[in-house]
């Protein structure tokens, strides 16, 4: 009998990747979504069972977990993480789930200015208190930020990456690599129970170095523009980015400038069996999005 796993946040970046890799590994995948739509259809075509649920409605979580051996718990950067975690933990205990992989963040910290970073740290503690067999993943800053709506047009049209990071450094990681790690642990979780894994891309870089690598990969000049945290957050406000997300960036960028996102290890390759994607590889994969139409 195939091992059955539930993946929440199924239409998100790491959720989709975890589903694809879990199916490749021969797992029976159940994907939890808020609504069946054009985002869930490709997951169903891959072979995932689609179930509608809400992490703030415990009965729907219980239904989604029923019969599952393991689960990947993913919650977006928005209010409600602690409530969702408590609901999920209770439902997982009721369903006798034997392993949980929790997507946290590198900057999870009880003293962070960011509410999201603090909530992520508390959510880790809640899962630990629950007595459930849990593994925490703490990835550094995603490569996908290049594709976010407040960054992509500036990069595509003006060749600028813009962040209030100063001389801070990190090893950018692709969500695909995070999803592959999650799937590998879901397949064989026992040796990972109780572990917290920081996850990094292949090379630690500052943003001038990231811009230089993008310049080569995209075949046109890309420059890094450092701004103050206040200026950056004002620009996010002007774009209508939710207040919780802006507040998170305010705290997370201060953490970044103080080295919280820095570091390196080989966890992605060791856990998933494949080296993580580089900035250049990511850029080439998303060339059509990152370059204006008149650039080949």
Q: What is the pLDDT of residues 8-61, one digit of tens each?
A: 999 999 999 999 999 999 999 999 999 999 999 999 999 999 999 999 999 999
Residue 118 lies in a domain: yes
CA neighbor of 282 nearest in space, from 155, 180, 174, 207: 174
Residue 293's pLDDT band, with cuts at 50, 70 and 90, is confident
45 or 294, greater pLDDT: 45
In a domain, 76, yes or no: yes
Assign residue 88 the CATH number of its domain.
3.40.50.720
* pLDDT band at 295; cut points 50, 70, 90: low
> Where residue 269 falls among pLDDT bands split at 50, 70, 90?
very high
Asked whether the predicted pLDDT for residue 66 surpasses 90, the reply is yes
Local confidence band at 296 (pLDDT 50, 70, 90 cut-offs): low
pLDDT tens-place string over residues 202-255: 999 999 999 999 999 999 999 999 999 999 999 999 999 999 999 999 999 999
Kindly report the pTM of this predicted structure: 0.95
Q: Evaluate whether residue 270 is within a structural domain.
A: yes
User: Does residue 90 belong to any structural domain of this protein?
Assistant: yes
156 falls within a domain: no
Question: In the chain, how many domains are there?
Answer: 1
- Cα 148 from Cα 236, distance rounded (Å): 11
Whether residue 79 lies inside any domain: the answer is yes
| % the chain with pLDDT above 70 | 99
The pLDDT of residue 97 is above 90: yes
The pLDDT score that the predictor gives to residue 13 is 94
Within-domain flag for 86? yes
Average pLDDT, the chain: 95
Indicate whether 60 belongs to any domain: yes
């Amino acid at each position: 009998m195939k091992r059955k796993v539930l993946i929440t946040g199924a239409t998100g970046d790491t959720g989709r990747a975890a589903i694809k890799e879990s199916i490749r590994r021969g797992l029976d995948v159940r994907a939890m979504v808020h609504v069946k739509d054009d985002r869930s259809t490709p997951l169903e075509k891959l072979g995932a069972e689609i179930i509608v649920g809400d992490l703030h409605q415990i009965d729907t979580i219980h239904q989604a977990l029923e019969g599952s051996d393991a689960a990947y718990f993913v919650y977006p950067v928005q209010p409600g993480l602690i409530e969702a975690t408590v609901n999920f933990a209770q439902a997982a205990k009721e369903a006798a789930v034997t392993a949980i992989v929790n997507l946290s963040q590198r900057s999870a910290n009880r003293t962070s200015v960011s509410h999201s970073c603090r909530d992520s740290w508390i959510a880790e503690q809640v899962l630990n208190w629950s007595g459930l067999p849990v593994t925490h993943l703490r990835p550094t800053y995603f490569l996908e930020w290049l594709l976010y709506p407040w960054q992509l047009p500036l990069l595509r049209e003006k060749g600028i990456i813009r962040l209030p990071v100063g001389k801070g450094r990190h090893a950018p990681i692709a969500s695909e690599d995070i999803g592959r790690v999650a799937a590998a642990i879901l397949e064989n979780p026992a040796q990972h129970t109780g572990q917290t894994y920081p996850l990094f891309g292949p090379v630690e870089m500052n943003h001038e170095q990231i811009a230089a690598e993008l310049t080569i990969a995209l075949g046109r000049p890309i420059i890094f523009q450092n701004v103050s945290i206040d200026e950056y957050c004002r620009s996010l406000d002007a774009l209508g980015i939710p207040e919780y997300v802006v507040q998170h960036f305010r705290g997370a960028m201060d953490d970044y400038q103080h080295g919280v996102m820095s570091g390196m290890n080989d966890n992605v390759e060791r856990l998933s069996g494949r080296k993580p994607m580089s900035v250049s590889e990511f850029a080439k994969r998303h060339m059509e999005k990152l370059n204006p139409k008149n650039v080949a």
